[in-house]
Amino acid sequence: MKQLLSLFTSTLLCALSSAHAAEEGFVPLFKSNSLEGWVNANCAPETWSIKDGVVFCTGKPTGAIRTARQYENFIVEIEWRHLSSGGNSGIFLWGTAIAAPGVPFLRGIEVQVLDHGFNAKGKNEWYTTHGDVFPIHGATMSPFGRHNGQRSFPSEERSKGSPEWNHYRIHCNNGVLRLSVNGKEVSGGEKCVYRKGYLALESEGAPIEFRNARIKELPSTGAPESESAPFDIGFRTAFTGLDLRGWKTNEATAARWQVRGERLLLKEGTPAPGATLWIDKPFLDSEFIVDCRPAKPREGEPPLVPAVLIKTSRGSSHELKLAGATAEKYTRFVISIQNREIQVKLDDKPVGRAQLPEDPAAPRTFGLADTGGSVEFMNVYFRELK
């Protein structure tokens, strides 16, 4: 009997030792009470928080928090639970540092985190609530198994509804992604582009919690630049997606500006003196990103051309037209101010230029101009130029 017990104990210890060895190399993705190592891509300061290792997201606005560094090949394990029926969220893999043009989402591969109470038309035809995997906003993937377009549907219904916890294991190697839901592989894809980039958690309308997030990096397979997300070059969001915190305008004309659905909306009306919406922070040499879409002009009227303003601490203002903006879709512009030179680019092509008369060391402010017609702005980012 003793020999049998000894043999059983030895076998059990060997099994546990092997299991432990197989799981070696994992490290936590979050500190217990700090979001250090993560970057707010385009949310409000209060959207994301952490306490005792549990990450909490308010769900508002729609946006993401991402890692400060990129990853190529890895295994991620994470637990999640929605706190309300029908909650929506996601885990972004190999994503970009900032949102794709005209949307509040990063470009990348999304692993769906969706509660069963979400019940839009077409459920189980174009989406499920059990671990879909799909590329978004310019990313690409060849899906495994049953699919709709590039969207991989899970082979089994394994996720649990709110408020129960679910476990995801995401294996990513050489552009191949495999998702296991609560202990079994169900979906994924291959030929993913990007296959190197940032990891992110998504805020999308409902409160959600994540815990026990950890990662094990795997050897690189040499992802080329063409299959890797652009590196973070320092752009940070200048807009909470919820309100006008961090911005200022003339009190008498503040009603001309509204925040609606992660967008800054300039209502149609007669341009009002002082109605420019200014970032409430002076800067020296800097670069700004702005997505904009003017309203469709009435018949017989010329298209509206949005504009930005640069004002110096000595009082001079310089208006720069965002030439090329159309009502059909959002257009992304990059506005750089360096020394005395101001330049506006669309798709890396200059579409506007001006020169400041003052000392380049004088502080400036950046504003969205009131041009009279209705315009939507979103994804306002800035970075300091060294």
* Domain-embedded: residue 8: no
Are residues 208 and 269 located together in one domain of the fold? no
**pTM flag (> 0.75):** yes
Residue 84: CB partners within 8 Å, gap ≥ 6? 115, 117, 162, 206, 207
Are residues 263 and 215 located together in one domain of the fold? no
Are residues 28 and 170 located together in one domain of the fold? yes
Q: What is the pLDDT of residue 18?
A: 41
Are residues 84 and 136 located together in one domain of the fold? yes
C-alpha distance from residue 150 to each of 75, 89, 137, 153, 184 (Å) = 22, 19, 12, 10, 21
14 has a pLDDT exceeding 70 = no
- If pLDDT is split at 50, 70 and 90, which confidence band does 198 have? very high
* Domain-embedded: residue 11: no
* Domain-embedded: residue 241: no
CATH number where 223 lies: 2.60.120.560
- Domain boundary among the residues 174, 201, 230 is at 230
User: Of 61, 6, 4, 54, which Cα lies nearest the Cα of 29?
Assistant: 54
Which value, to the nearest 10 degrees, does the dihedral of the CA atoms of residues 104, 108, 113, 119 take?
60
Q: Which residue has the higher pLDDT, 41 or 317?
A: 41
Per-residue pLDDT of 129-186, as tens digits, reads 999 999 999 999 999 999 999 999 999 999 999 999 999 999 999 999 999 999 999 9
Q: Residue 252 region, left (φ>0) first, then alpha (ψ -120 to 50), else beta?
A: alpha
Are residues 209 and 162 located together in one domain of the fold? yes
* Domain-embedded: residue 64: yes
Are residues 225 and 112 located together in one domain of the fold? yes
* Domain-embedded: residue 224: yes
Are residues 302 and 205 located together in one domain of the fold? no
- Domain boundary among the residues 230, 260, 281 is at 230
| Type of residue numbered 134 | F
The pLDDT mean for the chain works out to 91
Are residues 200 and 56 located together in one domain of the fold? yes
* Domain-embedded: residue 16: no
User: Of 272, 269, 266, which Cα lies nearest the Cα of 251?
Assistant: 272
* DSSP conformational letter for 6: H
Cis peptide before 219 (omega within 30 of 0): no
* Domain-embedded: residue 288: yes
- Domain boundary among the residues 203, 230, 257 is at 230
Per-residue pLDDT of 31-59, as tens digits, reads 999 999 999 999 999 999 999 999 999 99
Structure tokens, 243: 């309100």
- Per the CB < 8 A criterion, the answer to whether 335 and 320 are in contact is yes
Total structural domains within the chain: 2
* Domain-embedded: residue 200: yes
Are residues 139 and 195 located together in one domain of the fold? yes
Backbone angles phi, psi at 254, to 5 degrees: -60, -30
Domain ranges, residue 346: 247-384
